[in-house]
């Protein structure tokens, strides 16, 4: 008879193996990051067991929001949520923050639900051009029943072509003009699109999920100053918070958006994540500028290194990138699937990615890869390390060295980088498991 598996031991063992492995990897998924130990402690706090459904009230004597809750027991949490809202308003330069959404897609859904009605139109980028699925019909746009109006994309500039999009927008009159992307190398032309939005009475919603940590650190672009009405984001990409979502908006939209988030789309939000978010926001207020500046330096440096070693890195004419991301066309050296898998064998974690000239049918084996440097920046890597990473990738992809051999060198290289930077001091390593004794 087969012995019954001990699932507890099995799961603990898998968690330990995962930590060991990813601690030995160069982690460059552009949508990932690691949180500080202080944030992790908040995530495992008692707030993860509690409810705080409620509506927004006025402000207390410290200027923090007060809440009309439906359950007792929230007096400390209310202060934390107030701090998170205040810091988010300050760092993202908006008038009102809502920290209820439990993911970036939920944040977008809440905004669509608040600002549109069934059959309205929404403009955005296609997935091939870098748009997030929640800007399209396969996800939140379809759930709300909106009709898509794709922007014309300039493949050479890797940005929205405002001139060519203008006549389409004036004709189609989308209710929401969605900006932001998952493949996001350069700031979007908010100012130029604002003029069009004013003509057709559209809202500009900027999905800053990928670049929120850069924006909070004063890099990339300033969505509200440039003309956005709403900023949505997940909280765990360049912004190094726990997984979750956030909305920041102009005051005149606050009530609609708050009601859409709760009770519209969420019953209880995730209190422990809000506590972690508050700490991450405080860390970004203190350390965000250095962090964001180093991310962009690292991204440019890695792109330059790859380019010099023979990779077809996009946008050499624009210094490759202004964000944490690099896009590489690998169609001549194996295509996205094979390249990403070979890198994984060498403990270099990246993802295959559609490029604007691909078809959606290429999703399983697109012509590109996307590389993000947020996490490796956070563990202290600088420009010289980017050159070494480019060398590893060249050995695997261009020289076709056995990835298993390169892996040994990657593990050796990574040993020096196990401390989290740009955050409050903590006693554990970047990839340690937090254990409660």
Binding site for ligand DSN (CB under 6 A): 31, 104, 132, 182
Cβ neighbours of residue 11 closer than 8 Å, sequence gap 6 or more: none
Q: In three state form, how does the secondary structure of 45-108 look?
A: CHHHHCCCCEEEEEECCCCCEEEEECCCCCHHHHHHHHHHHHHHHHHHCCCEEECCCCCHHHHH
Residue with the closest Cβ to ligand DSN?
31
Which tokens hold the place of 390? Answer: 């480019």
Cβ neighbours of residue 354 closer than 8 Å, sequence gap 6 or more: 127, 128, 183, 360, 362, 363, 366, 367, 368
For ligand DSN, the closer of residues 182 and 377 by Cβ is 182
- Kindly give the pairing relationship between strand 230-234 and strand 203-207: parallel
Residue 182: CB minimum distance to ligand DSN, A: 4
For ligand DSN, the closer of residues 66 and 133 by Cβ is 133
* 335/101 Cα distance (integer angstroms): 36
Residue 135: CB minimum distance to ligand DSN, A: 11
Residue 31: CB minimum distance to ligand DSN, A: 3
For ligand DSN, the closer of residues 243 and 304 by Cβ is 243
Residue 349: CB minimum distance to ligand DSN, A: 12
222: left (phi over 0), alpha (psi -120 to 50) or beta: beta
For ligand DSN, the closer of residues 200 and 363 by Cβ is 363
Q: Are 53 and 69 in contact (CB under 8 A)?
A: yes
* 343/354 Cα distance (integer angstroms): 17
Residue 223: CB minimum distance to ligand DSN, A: 18
Residue 189: CB minimum distance to ligand DSN, A: 21
Torsion of CA 348, 397, 332, 33, to 10 degrees: 10
Residue 183: CB minimum distance to ligand DSN, A: 8
For ligand DSN, the closer of residues 65 and 370 by Cβ is 370
For ligand DSN, the closer of residues 131 and 288 by Cβ is 131
For ligand DSN, the closer of residues 86 and 370 by Cβ is 370
**Nearest one of 108, 96, 116 to 252, comparing CA atoms:** 96
């Amino acid at each position: 008879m087969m012995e019954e598996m001990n699932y507890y031991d099995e799961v603990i063992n898998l968690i330990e193996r995962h930590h060991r492995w990813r601690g030995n990897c160069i982690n460059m998924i552009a949508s990932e990051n690691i949180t500080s130990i202080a944030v992790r402690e908040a995530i495992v706090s008692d707030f993860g067991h509690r409810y705080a459904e409620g509506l927004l009230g006025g402000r207390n004597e410290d200027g923090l929001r007060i809440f009309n809750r439906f359950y007792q027991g929230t007096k400390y949490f209310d202060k934390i949520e107030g701090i998170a809202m205040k810091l988010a308003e300050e760092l993202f330069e908006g008038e009102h923050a809502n920290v209820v959404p439990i993911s970036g897609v939920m944040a977008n859904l809440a905004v669509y639900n608040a600002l549109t009605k069934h059959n309205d139109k929404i403009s955005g980028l296609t997935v091939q051009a870098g748009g997030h699925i929640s800007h399209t019909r396969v996800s939140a746009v379809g759930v709300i029943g909106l009709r898509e109006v794709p922007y014309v994309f300039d493949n050479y500039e890797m940005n929205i072509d405002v001139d060519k999009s203008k006549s389409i927008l004036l004709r189609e009159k989308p209710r929401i003009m969605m900006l932001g992307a998952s493949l996001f190398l350069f700031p979007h032309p908010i100012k130029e699109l604002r003029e069009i939005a004013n003509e057709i009475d559209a809202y500009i919603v900027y999905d800053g999920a990928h670049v929120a940590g850069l924006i909070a650190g004063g890099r990339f672009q300033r969505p509200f100053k440039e003309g956005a009405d709403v900023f949505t984001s997940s909280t765990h990409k360049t912004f190094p918070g726990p997984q979750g979502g956030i909305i920041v908006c102009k005051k005149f939209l606050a009530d609609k958006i708050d009601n859409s988030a709760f009770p519209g789309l969420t019953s209880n939000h995730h209190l422990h994540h809000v506590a972690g978010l508050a700490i991450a926001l405080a860390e970004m207020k203190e350390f965000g500028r250095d962090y964001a500046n180093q991310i962009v330096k690292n991204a440019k440096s890695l792109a330059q290194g790859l380019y010099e070693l023979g990779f077809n890195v996009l946008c050499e004419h624009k210094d490759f990138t202004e964000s944490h991301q690099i896009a590489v066309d690998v169609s001549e050296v194996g295509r996205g699937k094979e390249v990403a898998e070979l890198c994984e064998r060498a403990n270099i974690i990246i993802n295959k990615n559609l490029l604007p000239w691909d078809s959606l049918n290429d999703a399983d084996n697109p012509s590109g890869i996307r590389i993000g440097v947020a996490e490796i920046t956070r563990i202290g890597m600088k420009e010289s390390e980017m050159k070494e990473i480019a060398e590893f990738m060249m050995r695997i992809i261009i020289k076709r060295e056995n990835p298993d051999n390169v892996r040994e060198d990657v593990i050796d290289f990574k040993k020096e980088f196990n401390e989290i930077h740009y955050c409050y001091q903590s006693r554990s390593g970047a990839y340690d498991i937090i254990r409660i004794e």
